[in-house]
Amino acid sequence: MLLMPPMSSVMESHSGQSFIRSTAFGYVDVDAESAESATEEGNAAYRSAGSVLNLADARFGIVDSDYTTSRWGDRSPDGLPVYVWTFRKSSTNRTLPPPVYLLRHEIGHDLFVRYLVPSTKRDQYGGDAPDWLDEMAAVAFEGEALKAIRRRAAVRYAREAKLIPLQRFLTMVHPEMATGSIPASSGQLAPVFEARSNETLQFYSTATAFYDFLVIRTKSAAIIAQLAAAFRDGENLDQWILARTGYEERENGIDALNADFLTWIACDPDYGGGASR
């Protein structure tokens, strides 16, 4: 239960700048200027938690970093995860804030690790799940505009033979982890907004495309929740994917799956088969 004021009675606090508002997903504690974008990101993440991760009512708060000493993913006194975000360029901070549309991506990471496949080890990206599955959960939370950019990039990478082959994608360390740009020792995912590895964009595009491909091939919108359950059950995810996509009986099934994946990228209307691309 949240001890928050209802939507109609906006409470003023934090030297008159921040407003705590209750929302469908929990609450936002941000300045009036950021309230709309914070609520929009939270609503989108809440919907994706249901459709992508099968989490029926994943509630959380979104708080402006200027108004809290909490860190990303801490729990509020009410027990909700708190997502601390920098919405504005402050007088003390000379760097630009991260684009707010990345907030839902980062919430996707946290919810996946918090509820589906937690982290029990140090020095790893996200949780115990393979890095590609951690990242796939987050890109699945992204909005349509960003997805369209990732899809166009996937088509381009595929044409230039730069898309990461599934044989490698399913086993590789996250490119940003490999460069050491993610502080892994905390066991908590810290948002990173500037790619240091030149393979990061391919990794994200491959994750978006493989997610779309799996949803279509398996006819399962919640394929990520199913993959997480298979992982928790100790299944070999490569074999599980091959079985779900009809390649388990094939010799070199993963090669056949990758060939199918590339053909699909070339032809699917949202990818290379679209009229506008």
DSSP assignment letter at 112: I
Residue 140 or residue 257: which is nearer to Zn ion going by CB?
A: 140
What minimum distance in Å lies between the beta carbon of 83 and Zn ion?
A: 14
Which residue stretch of 89-97, 134-142, 143-151, 175-183 sits at the interface with Zn ion (rule: CB under 5 A)?
A: 134-142
What minimum distance in Å lies between the beta carbon of 97 and Zn ion?
A: 17
Residue 7, SS3?
A: coil
Spatial CA neighbour of 99 closest among 194, 215, 214: 194
Per rule CB under 5 A, is residue 257 in the interface with Zn ion? Answer: no
Count of other CB atoms within 10 angstroms of residue 47: 14
Per rule CB under 5 A, is residue 138 in the interface with Zn ion? Answer: yes
Residue 140 or residue 242: which is nearer to Zn ion going by CB?
A: 140
| Cβ(224)–Cβ(53) below 8 Å | yes
Q: Which of residues 1-40 bind Zn ion (CB under 5 A)?
A: none
Which residue stretch of 14-22, 52-60, 82-90, 133-141 sits at the interface with Zn ion (rule: CB under 5 A)?
A: 133-141
Residue 155 or residue 207: which is nearer to Zn ion going by CB?
A: 207
Give dist(CA 277, CA 273) in Å, integer: 7
Give dist(CA 230, CA 76) in Å, integer: 31
What tokens were used for 58? 């994943």
Residue 139 or residue 163: which is nearer to Zn ion going by CB?
A: 139
- Which residues pair with residue 181 across a beta bridge? none
What minimum distance in Å lies between the beta carbon of 198 and Zn ion?
A: 17
Rounded to whole angstroms, what are the CA distances from 268 to 130, 155, 180, 265, 277? 27, 10, 36, 6, 11
Which residue stretch of 70-78, 132-140, 243-251, 268-276 sits at the interface with Zn ion (rule: CB under 5 A)?
A: 132-140
What minimum distance in Å lies between the beta carbon of 136 and Zn ion?
A: 9
Per rule CB under 5 A, is residue 224 in the interface with Zn ion? Answer: no
What minimum distance in Å lies between the beta carbon of 5 and Zn ion?
A: 33
What minimum distance in Å lies between the beta carbon of 210 and Zn ion?
A: 14
Give dist(CA 18, CA 38) in Å, integer: 12
- Which residues pair with residue 22 across a beta bridge? 27
Residue 82 or residue 138: which is nearer to Zn ion going by CB?
A: 138
Q: With contacts defined by CB under 5 A, how many residues of the chain interact with Zn ion?
A: 1
Cα 67 from chain centroid? 25
Give dist(CA 162, CA 129) in Å, integer: 25
What minimum distance in Å lies between the beta carbon of 19 and Zn ion?
A: 29
Residue 80 or residue 138: which is nearer to Zn ion going by CB?
A: 138
- The letter for the amino acid at 128 is D
Report the interface residues with Zn ion, using CB under 5 A. Answer: 138
